[in-house]
Every structure is written in structure tokens, then in C-alpha cells.
Structure 1
């Protein structure tokens, strides 16, 4: 069963998962590879994300990732997740800048 998602005007989607090797959060790029930074995530329109999600889910085991799903973002130089949960996953905890995720990793 697919999750219901709400995409507002000017918003798009990216795909995310967790790497099996170490549990790190990863983002799917335009080439279908998984990257550690949301800065490299492929921005998907509502019309194209379902096929990208299906492809990513089917290749997840071979790619070494688990829990593939879509995240609503506001496109920009670096996609900005709409929800607080996903912003924390993308950019790190809110408690101290020392623990933030490097954008160029």
C-alpha cells in the first residue's frame, strides 16, 4: 500500500533510504546512485517520482539500502525538506551545529 503524500505548489520530491552497511541516511541522485548529502539528490516531479520509487525499491537490496521512500521538498540550490523530521534527517540534529551533516559529504 502506497503512502498518501501531499505536494504543494512549487514543491517536488526526492528519494531517501538508509544504508545497510552503517545505517547512514542516503539520497538518490539522478544516476540512481545513493549519496550521503541531500545536495546531490535528484529532484523529481510528482509525475515521475512513482517510477523512480519503484526502480529504487526493486534495486534496494543490490544497492545496499533499506527503507526507500519519498520526501517532499522545496527545490533550490539544495533541496529543503518540508517536514521537520526530514530536515533533521537531511541536515542533522537541532541541538548543536557540531553534529550537523556536512552538505558536501
Structure 2
């Protein structure tokens, strides 16, 4: 069984996964729908997140790799870890500033 996520003071949990059809990152909203933007993610306490994880049927909902992410509450919520901020908001380098390697 997965270890419970430890939360800092004032932090909440949101649920994330990848859509089966295209692999895009999605976030679960308060109505139980998977949305492509973290802005709509339902912010849950530990018990509510655990219950949601135990009761959802990921394949029926068209997602894979469901897990919880610790966030600082707000709109949009701000993921605590760098990895999850990148997943939520995009690459750390704007494509305009990327350097292409010469062949």
C-alpha cells in the first residue's frame, strides 16, 4: 500500500493522472471529472483524498497513474514539489529561449 502524503501546515491535496487516450495530464475537480487545467482541481484534506483514491475506478474514468499531490491552497493551487509545478504549469524554459543543438 502507498504511503500517505505528508502535508505541511495549511496544505491540501489534489488528484492528478494521465488521460488514457492521449497521455495528457489531468486534474480531478470537485464533481469528479478530469480536467486539463490545475485551476479546476478540487482541493482535499487527507481523508477525503484517500477515500477518493480508494473508490475511483481509473480505467472506467479513462485515466491511468492516479495519485495525490500536495499543494498550497489558492486558485490555481500551487504544487509544493518542483516536479508537480512543472507538470501543472509547463516547462521551466520558455521555448523562445531554448538553444537548439547543431547537427
What's the counterpart of residue 61 of structure 2?
63
Q: Find the aligned partners of 1:96 and 1:60 in 2 and give their Cα distance.
A: 33
Q: How does 1:1-105 map to 2 (within 5 A)?
A: 1-56=1-56, 59-96=57-94
Q: Which runs of 5+ in 1 are unaligned?
A: 99-105
- Report the CA distance between 1:52 and its aligned residue: 1.0
Larger Rg: 2
- Offset of residue 55 of structure 1: 2.1
Scaled by the length of structure 2, the TM-score of the pair is 0.88
For 1:4 and 1:54, locate their aligned partners in 2 and report how far apart those are by CA, in whole Å. Answer: 13
| Alignment deviations for residues 55-76 of structure 1 (CA, whole Å, 9 cap, x no partner) | 23xx210111000000000001
Closer, same or farther in 2 for the Cα pair 1:46/1:4, shift >3 Å? closer
Moved over 4 A (4+): none
RMSD: 1.3
How far does residue 39 in structure 1 lie from its aligned partner after superposition? Answer: 0.3
Give TM-score scaled by structure 1 length: 0.86
Q: What count of residue pairs does the alignment treat as equivalent? A: 96
- Distance apart, 1:3 and its partner CA: 2.6
Which segments of 5 or more consecutive residues in structure 2 lack a partner in the other structure? 97-103
